[in-house]
Structure 1
Amino acid sequence: MVSDFRRKKLLHMYKFLDKDGSGTIDKKDFQLAAESMTKQRGWKEGDALYKESLDMTDLVWNALQKAGDANNDGEVSADEWVTMWDTISKSAADREWLSQYCKFIFKMQDFNNDGFIDSDDYVAARSIAGTSKEDAVAAFQKLAQGKSKISLTDFQKLWDEYFLSEDPNAPGNFIAGKSSFD
């Protein structure tokens, strides 16, 4: 059973992924996200990173639909989303796509391409997502836990905490730049 706290943070991410505001997540949402990411990063059609972004969003959508679209209607509802994460937290079977998605998001947030996310990278990435600079700086401090940079290994642990942890004090709860989920 998903706690009220975890449900709120999962629904926070769900609403963020619902790019067209339809109330469900579908392939169009992931296409809109890919277009937005590539545009904001300055990548153009034909660039390797542009293609990688489109390929990764397709891969993640296909895996998400397989894992979460229980009624096979081409959309993932909020209830299906929460149920999917509850299932994933109990079994490692569906985690490969989650790991690939995590690596992709890490790469998208590593603005200076040095293999780490520092405060400037994180603030830039979160500002694109609509997080205030102050909130992003505070969230990075919680995520980094005293370090100046976050490695991919650290990010993967934080990523899992965001999606899988019921602990309200877990540093990963700040991965989306938000510290409360009221």
Structure 2
Amino acid sequence: MLNDLQLRKMAHLFALLDVDDDQVIDKMDYTASADRLVNAFGFAPGSAESQRVRERYARLWDEVTLPMDADGDERVDLTEFTAGFDRFVTQPEEGYSRHIAPVADAFYDLMDTDGDGRITRTEYLRMAGSAFRMSEANSLLAFGHLDLDGNGSLSTEELHAATEQFFRSPEADAHGNWLFGPLPSRA
């Protein structure tokens, strides 16, 4: 069972993924996010990079989000989203490594535009703003909390630790709670 913090994290991520703000996530939301990411990173339409982004978003929809659709309407509301993450990611020990780690690796590869094996502040801000509609201010706050060694970039290990904490940790002081910027206050 998710605690209040975990429910707030899921609601926050849901709002960021719901591109058209219609209170459901569907394949169109993922297509629109992929298109924004392709544009933000300047990938040419039809390029290998563009195809890779679109394929990874389609995989995320097909393998992670669509299975959360309890009523079969190919749309996932907040209740289904939260229950799905609890069932597929938070509760099972292998949930993160099976469902989220491959997606995190894909985002890491996309963000690392210079191929140096590290995500710079600029690369993170570009991804956060385009893929998750985060403001620059919130992206900067998030990056500051995720860059544990303060070297101005994120390693694969830092990103995975933060991502797993976001999806699995019930602890209020987990640095991964900042992955998608500051959480909204309780309603």
Q: TM-score, normalised by structure 2?
A: 0.87
* Deviation of 1:49 (Å): 0.7
Q: Are 2:158 and 1:157 equivalent residues in the alignment?
A: no
- Could you tell me how far apart the structure 2 residues matched to 1:108 and 1:67 are? 25
Task: State the aligned residue count.
Answer: 181
- Could you tell me how far apart the structure 2 residues matched to 1:16 and 1:134 are? 15
Residue in structure 2 matched with residue 89 of structure 1 by the alignment: 90
SS of residue paired to 2:2 = coil
1:133-144 counterparts in 2 under 5 A?
A: 133-144=136-147
The farther-off stretch of 50-59 and 62-71 is 62-71
Q: Once superposed, what is the RMSD of the aligned Cα atoms?
A: 1.9
> Which AA in structure 2 matches 1:141?
G
SS of residue paired to 1:28 = helix
* Deviation of 1:171 (Å): 0.7
**8 Å CA contact 1:115, 1:151 repeated in 2:** yes
- Could you tell me how far apart the structure 2 residues matched to 1:93 and 1:159 are? 12
1:1-182 counterparts in 2 under 5 A?
A: 1-87=1-87, 88-91=89-92, 92=94, 95-128=97-130, 129-148=132-151, 149-178=153-182, 180-182=183-185
* Deviation of 1:158 (Å): 0.7
**8 Å CA contact 1:5, 1:181 repeated in 2:** no
SS of residue paired to 1:63 = helix
**8 Å CA contact 1:142, 1:174 repeated in 2:** yes
> Which AA in structure 1 matches 2:51?
K
SS of residue paired to 1:44 = coil
**8 Å CA contact 2:118, 2:154 repeated in 1:** yes
SS of residue paired to 1:166 = coil
SS of residue paired to 2:150 = coil
Structure 2, unaligned runs of 5 or more: none
The farther-off stretch of 111-120 and 167-176 is 111-120
Structure 1, unaligned runs of 5 or more: none
- Could you tell me how far apart the structure 2 residues matched to 1:153 and 1:47 are? 29
- Could you tell me how far apart the structure 1 residues matched to 2:85 and 2:58 are? 19
* Deviation of 1:43 (Å): 0.9
CA deviation map 1:3-57 (0-9, x unaligned): 1111111111101111121210011111111111111111122211101001101
**8 Å CA contact 1:65, 1:75 repeated in 2:** no
**8 Å CA contact 2:162, 2:175 repeated in 1:** yes
SS of residue paired to 1:73 = coil
CA deviation map 1:61-88 (0-9, x unaligned): 0012443111221011100111112112
* Deviation of 1:163 (Å): 1.3
Q: TM-score, normalised by structure 1?
A: 0.89
- Could you tell me how far apart the structure 2 residues matched to 1:49 and 1:86 are? 32
* Deviation of 1:119 (Å): 2.2
* Deviation of 1:162 (Å): 0.8
- Cα distance, 1:50–1:74 mapped onto 2, change above 3 Å: same
Q: Which stretches of structure 1, 4 residues or more, deviate above 4 A after TM superposition? A: none
